[in-house]
Structure 1
């Protein structure tokens, strides 16, 4: 696979330069008489009304690409019909029965090493595909670093250790191993479809087969990842056809088919907490294992002895992608002794962030559709005593203030008092826009303040990531032993960085549902099994 190019083995480019993908089922490209068309991010920003109207006409079949004569459309993806969806489940079930018999050296070492190489060799193309979908280039690079971390040598070694442990005792081989669940169906989020699909594809390493739904709004990146990254890797190591499958369609019919099919074992669902928790109940009713990746409302704690410049840099990560990422900081608790100096630093950094086209260097802000929700949330905070420090308005593409613009100014508010902070919506729930509440507890004895801060973090309804900035060893130890909420705890580190073999996803509460914890797809899509092996030369003993 050549870096910076899109393979044409299963994808095709027509005379208009449009990348075309069918469904990918059983190792074959499956066309359709219905398509969804993909607009480039620049086209949407330049003329959203006209180009989105054109997309609707193309998707309905009211016009054709040749009639439209436009360069706004960069690709199209086939919509899977009911038969194609059934074919995907049968193909995955057949493949899983064979694939799980492959040794770990093939499934973990071979597959993930080649996956890592495929990503590395195609970084320019992956960046291009992500920016086409509206991901700012710098965030695309961050997302790629996460893919590489999850398939790194350190991660592979950890997976191997967890999947198979063997000892000998009393002439008996004792094995504790994790066996694959079978067919894993994946519903990625529309804000990060490609990287979420690649994250879920780690489940293949444990012996599962995967079916991924490409969202109709952003299907191109997923289809590229399946057709042109994963499928060639699996072919190279001899995986059966059907080990990976991809279909594009409406979520409702697909979910119903997955839930009702006896061939499906696990469903990995990315989405809001409200819909995800309800979907979890449906999964349990139908006997499917739900693996949820839902909202985050991550907390950062900045203690009095923290490096304020470093901590402010980490908190500013909460504005990346205009706050439309689940694993970024959503709220900060800062020690009252350093609150003023810290807030000034964060505000200055936030105000320096600028909008722009996603393929431009240095752009970190994305368009935000939910301006009404942003203003409702900001008004709620201000009405309950919060103070607007900076931001608060809309922005146009050039960075000028514009209430009707696509973008929102990164906004910092100060919330005085810890005990009643969660009366504010922006503190209690994930916001998904660039609004950072910085909570300043009332001055108190440090020991008491430590206790209250730890309790505040632990009682967060969500639990994805938490991070702490402090240098005193005793203070760090209090946070380390006290914070139990969340799937990942970072201390004096970037809140969003990836550090293999630590988990990148997963959490507790409304983030991961009833079964929530740190999410390693290689492990979450498996079940523990104990094995005892004797030679057969001795009589059985029950005690």
Structure 2
């Protein structure tokens, strides 16, 4: 039997079975150079392509995604364990993203008049060049396209370095791009080691860098981009607070908290990880939440009824279990789950921890898996303090029947997004990104289009 090494190949391992389903040799320096050469040549032509023609390609991509939705969804499920219904939803969401930017995007990069006192001036949004994108495995298609679609619309080209365990998804996406008629070099896939990523960042043909990943990866990529004097966008981890106040509709809050915590098997950077509940309703909320969590269907991710599948990587399950056991040793109560599921698959039991305090592991660290931590707040002010007591600042949720109080709390929350009476979601009409150790820069909305643009001043008759 031939043993394939992680050092020489990107490997796809089915987390539901532990079986290897794909291996992709890392590319040599010569192949990387050829890829970047194609991107540079592609950019020279794409930047001069009229916006209307770029829009046509985005609409064609929406069609290509839908035409190949089932194959792409099944690849996602096989490679990282996303339940198939959620994987299908991911592809449809990407198609809608393409259509929305095709409709609303051109106005975002149209010239803007500037009210100068002498002559005439305008702001032009010019592309920067090839953008290197280092992307994660948890949303193998959406995570890529939510950055790529506005980037391509603006006239840049996109060089994707995907996570090693989802390279099958990366190549299916590349095929969809080709089917949509994008010219060569406009979207390239780069399958390289971390050393190859470093070389690409330093390469003068790469204009800027975007990363979605861990804080550790953000520090590495951000420092290398800074050393090369290149702009970067970093979307990193999160330990999002989900605040439930005494006057909240508990049934709605519980429903949202379960989805917000356990969708994608809890492997979402902007998931509701810390459930901060005012003491007047914490007992009732907890009982309802545990009951709803217990009802979730766990199992074969290829089955439509499954809501929680396996975690994507075995090492991450080990890390999550260590965090859970540390929190229990620190005094938290275990209400549900609390360990690895039996069998060969990489399953972790849906877990609910209660009596969690601000000194415990699950409060301080990001838990990237199906584990919820319930924290009791004395009142709304204390809930706000607990919410902000984190090194992360990606998103937050507030459930209350008092709109004025919700707006007041939102004004003081140190997060990139605040969702009132609804769980966190990404939507192209609103911006997405974080503060503190959750990163910087923004994706989606007009911010996502302009992040990698040169806002160029053009001033006529200055004198």
Question: 2:420 is matched with which residue: 491, 513, 516?
Answer: 491
Structure 2 match to 1:358: 301
Q: Does residue 334 of the first structure (1) align with residue 261 of the second (2)?
A: no
Partner SS, residue 267 of structure 1? strand
Q: Does residue 501 of the first structure (1) align with residue 448 of the second (2)?
A: no
- In the alignment, is the contact (CA less than 8 A) between 2:16 and 2:347 conserved in 1? no
Q: Does residue 425 of the first structure (1) align with residue 364 of the second (2)?
A: no
Structure 2 match to 1:445: none
Partner SS, residue 456 of structure 1? helix
| Inter-CA distance 532–328: structure 2 relative to 1 (3 Å threshold) | same
List alignment gaps of at least 5 residues for structure 1. Answer: 1-33, 53-72, 398-403, 443-448, 535-539
Structure 2 match to 1:386: 332
Deviation at 1:437, TM superposition (A): 0.8
Whole-Å separation in 2 of the counterparts to 1:168 and 1:194: 38
Partner SS, residue 180 of structure 2? helix
Q: Which runs of 4+ in 1 moved over 6 A?
A: none
Q: Deviations over 1:277-323 (max 9, x none)?
A: 23211210122222212212111111222121111111112122332
Structure 2 match to 1:150: 97
Partner SS, residue 395 of structure 1? coil
Partner SS, residue 281 of structure 2? helix
| TM-score computed with the length of structure 2 as normaliser | 0.88
- In the alignment, is the contact (CA less than 8 A) between 1:214 and 1:223 conserved in 2? no
Deviation at 1:340, TM superposition (A): 0.9
Q: Does residue 523 of the first structure (1) align with residue 450 of the second (2)?
A: yes
Whole-Å separation in 1 of the counterparts to 2:421 and 2:102: 26
Whole-Å separation in 1 of the counterparts to 2:10 and 2:380: 53
Whole-Å separation in 2 of the counterparts to 1:275 and 1:151: 28
| Inter-CA distance 161–425: structure 2 relative to 1 (3 Å threshold) | farther
- In the alignment, is the contact (CA less than 8 A) between 2:73 and 2:87 conserved in 1? yes
Whole-Å separation in 1 of the counterparts to 2:206 and 2:126: 15
Whole-Å separation in 2 of the counterparts to 1:214 and 1:488: 26
Structure 2 match to 1:275: 217
Whole-Å separation in 2 of the counterparts to 1:405 and 1:147: 29
Q: Does residue 160 of the first structure (1) align with residue 106 of the second (2)?
A: yes
Whole-Å separation in 2 of the counterparts to 1:358 and 1:146: 19
Q: Does residue 45 of the first structure (1) align with residue 25 of the second (2)?
A: no
Partner SS, residue 164 of structure 2? coil
Q: Does residue 319 of the first structure (1) align with residue 262 of the second (2)?
A: yes
Question: 1:177 is matched with which residue: 117, 124, 128?
Answer: 124
| Inter-CA distance 527–508: structure 2 relative to 1 (3 Å threshold) | farther
Partner SS, residue 221 of structure 1? helix
| Inter-CA distance 372–247: structure 2 relative to 1 (3 Å threshold) | closer
| Inter-CA distance 192–507: structure 2 relative to 1 (3 Å threshold) | same
Question: 1:116 is matched with which residue: 62, 87, 95?
Answer: 62
Deviation at 1:255, TM superposition (A): 1.3
Q: Deviations over 1:310-349 (max 9, x none)?
A: 1111111212233222121111111111111111111111
Whole-Å separation in 1 of the counterparts to 2:278 and 2:95: 36
Whole-Å separation in 1 of the counterparts to 2:270 and 2:318: 23
Whole-Å separation in 2 of the counterparts to 1:259 and 1:405: 37
Deviation at 1:367, TM superposition (A): 2.1
Q: Which segment drifts farther, 323-332 or 208-217?
A: 208-217
Structure 2 match to 1:477: 407
RMSD over aligned CA atoms reads: 2.6
Structure 2 match to 1:213: 161
- In the alignment, is the contact (CA less than 8 A) between 1:179 and 1:527 conserved in 2? yes
Aligned residues: 447
- In the alignment, is the contact (CA less than 8 A) between 1:277 and 1:510 conserved in 2? no
Structure 2 match to 1:537: none
Partner SS, residue 226 of structure 2? helix
- In the alignment, is the contact (CA less than 8 A) between 1:486 and 1:517 conserved in 2? no
- In the alignment, is the contact (CA less than 8 A) between 2:130 and 2:157 conserved in 1? yes
List alignment gaps of at least 5 residues for structure 2. Answer: 1-7
Partner SS, residue 280 of structure 2? helix
Whole-Å separation in 2 of the counterparts to 1:459 and 1:289: 29
| Inter-CA distance 518–476: structure 2 relative to 1 (3 Å threshold) | farther
| TM-score computed with the length of structure 1 as normaliser | 0.76
Whole-Å separation in 2 of the counterparts to 1:413 and 1:352: 17
Structure 2 match to 1:415: 355
| Inter-CA distance 375–500: structure 2 relative to 1 (3 Å threshold) | closer
Structure 1 match to 2:375: 439
Partner SS, residue 274 of structure 2? strand
Q: Deviations over 1:215-250 (max 9, x none)?
A: 333211111101x21123244xxx4x2111112232
Structure 1 match to 2:288: 345
